[in-house]
Amino acid sequence: MTAADQLIVTAPATDRVNLLGLTRQQLETFFIDLGEKRFRAQQVMKWIHHRGVTDFAEMTDLSQPLRVRLTEIAEITPPSIAEQHDSQDGTRKWAIAVEGGSLVEAVLIPEGDRATLCVSSQVGCSLDCTFCSTGKQGFQRDLTAAEIIGQVWLAINSYDAWQSGKGRVVTNVVMMGMGEPLLNFDNVVAAMSLMCDDLAYGLSKRKVTLSTSGVVPNLDRLAEWADVSLAVSLHAPNDALRNQIVPINRKYPIQRLLASAKAYLDAQSDKKRVVTIEYTLLAGINDSVELAQELAQLLKDYPCKINLIPFNDFPNSGYERPSGNAVSRFWQVLTDAGFVVTVRTTRGDDIDAACGQLVGEVVDRTRRAERHRAGRSDHSLLESGR
């Protein structure tokens, strides 16, 4: 059964505040406004994010009247799982139903003693990169902070990790699912703050990665709000080519993007950090040895590592995945030039785990998507080595 066969019913919107998406500061303000002590926020955060509790009645360290009051004015509502698929290689993928009946995806990729969760930030995307099926769906709406952090909550919940006391289910988060995180700035910043907060998921800021195709004005102000790792989706070493495949480049060309990403690094206290440069390899378009050399020249002296992503094909994409040889040649040029280069491995092939693949069958509302009617969508995969 595909998600299209299912009727997605989500809970109707209520006036209650969803505490799931509130940062520590926001929750403290919420309790202070209620005439309660600040530390109530800490108690409630632990219930939500450490123990997976969504029912105020179970929060036994809160007074009975406060529990009743909270039930009246607040809620803890994660998005719901529409579908779950397990790959033979351990990858687990969810189609998640968010309010309004749309689906987004999250993918968990276990690897040794860690597991990386790929999280969506928007339903669809407006930036229209030519090789990206999320882009082909057009933009529907931003996810709320609760819907973003709710993907982490659901991933942990789906393993019964709270109940079984199992180790940490999610050790890394990458904002590489559907959507452009910097176009949903406030909600993404709030969700990332919860990912890193000890009272929530306590991930090291190095293990949370925001990936952007280059919304420069928002990247310019990111350092004021977050200190997570940064990945830049470059895909081409010159503006002429990048203009064609990443349209936002026409507005914010490569040098501006690289300067902004460098400024973000420079603002961090950890001076050893680097930008991950993502480069999706499209056969015959951006995978030649000459372009690898040009990329090496462009990034000479730039603090980065490079992640090559062989294109994940989808029907009517108009692109092809390069051969293994072409990928190796490209990798070799960069490695010889002294870069740290990883090649993203494909995981969860049997369940279409590339982000967007499943949802693409369901979310089909734009005229552009109609032209790609057959379109399963396809999106990012996670590298080994992040």
Can you tell me the distance from the alpha carbon of 298 to that of 258, in angstroms, rounded to the nearest whole number?
A: 10
Name the binder of 280 from ligand SF4, ligand SAH, none, CB < 5-8 A by kind.
ligand SAH
- 3-class SS letters over 259-301: HHHHHHHHCCCCCCCCEEEEEEECCCCCCCHHHHHHHHHHCCC
Q: Spot the catalytic one: 105, 180, 361, 383.
A: 105
Site string for ligand SF4, 68-87 (x = CB under 6 A): --------------------
Please pick, from the candidates 21, 78, 79, 135, the single residue that binds ligand SF4 as defined by CB under 6 A. 135
Site string for ligand SAH, 313-352 (x = CB under 6 A): ----------------------------------------
Q: Which is nearer to ligand SF4, 180 or 227 (CB)?
A: 180
Residues 158/92, Cβ–Cβ less than 8 Å:
yes
Smallest distance, ligand SF4 to C-beta of residue 372, A: 13
Q: Which is nearer to ligand SF4, 76 or 148 (CB)?
A: 148
Q: Kindly indicate which of the ranges 16-24, 128-136, 258-266, 295-303 contains the residues binding ligand SF4, using the contact rule CB under 6 A.
A: 128-136
Smallest distance, ligand SAH to C-beta of residue 54, A: 29
Can you tell me the distance from the alpha carbon of 350 to that of 88, in angstroms, rounded to the nearest whole number?
A: 7
Residues 173/207, Cβ–Cβ less than 8 Å:
yes
Question: Does the active-site annotation cover 355?
Answer: yes
Closest CA to 280 of 253, 224, 241: 241
Question: Does the active-site annotation cover 118?
Answer: no
When asked if residue 237 is in the footprint of ligand SF4 (CB under 6 A), the reply is no
For ligand SAH, the binding residues in 233-272 under the rule CB under 6 A are: 233
Smallest distance, ligand SF4 to C-beta of residue 24, A: 29
Tokens 């309010």: give the residue. Answer: 99
Label residues 22-45 b or e (16+ Cβ within 10 Å = b).
bbbebbbebbeeeebeeebbbbbb
Please pick, from the candidates 75, 111, 142, 180, the single residue that binds ligand SF4 as defined by CB under 6 A. 180
Kindly determine how many residues on this chain lie close enough to bind ligand SAH according to the rule CB under 6 A. Answer: 17
Contact partners, residue 63, CB within 8 Å, separation at least 6: none
Name the binder of 312 from ligand SF4, ligand SAH, none, CB < 5-8 A by kind.
ligand SAH
Q: What is the DSSP string of 61-115?
A: TS-HHHHHHHHHHEE----EEEEEEE-TTS-EEEEEEETTTEEEEEEEEEETTEE
Q: Spot the catalytic one: 118, 125, 132, 355.
A: 355
Can you tell me the distance from the alpha carbon of 138 to that of 317, in angstroms, rounded to the nearest whole number?
A: 15
Smallest distance, ligand SF4 to C-beta of residue 346, A: 17
Q: Kindly indicate which of the ranges 65-73, 120-128, 150-158, 368-376 contains the residues binding ligand SF4, using the contact rule CB under 6 A.
A: 120-128
248: Cα separation from own chain's centroid = 19
Judged by the rule CB under 6 A, the positions of this chain that interact with ligand SF4 are 125, 127-129, 132, 134-135, 179-180, 213, 233
Active site residue ranges: 105, 355
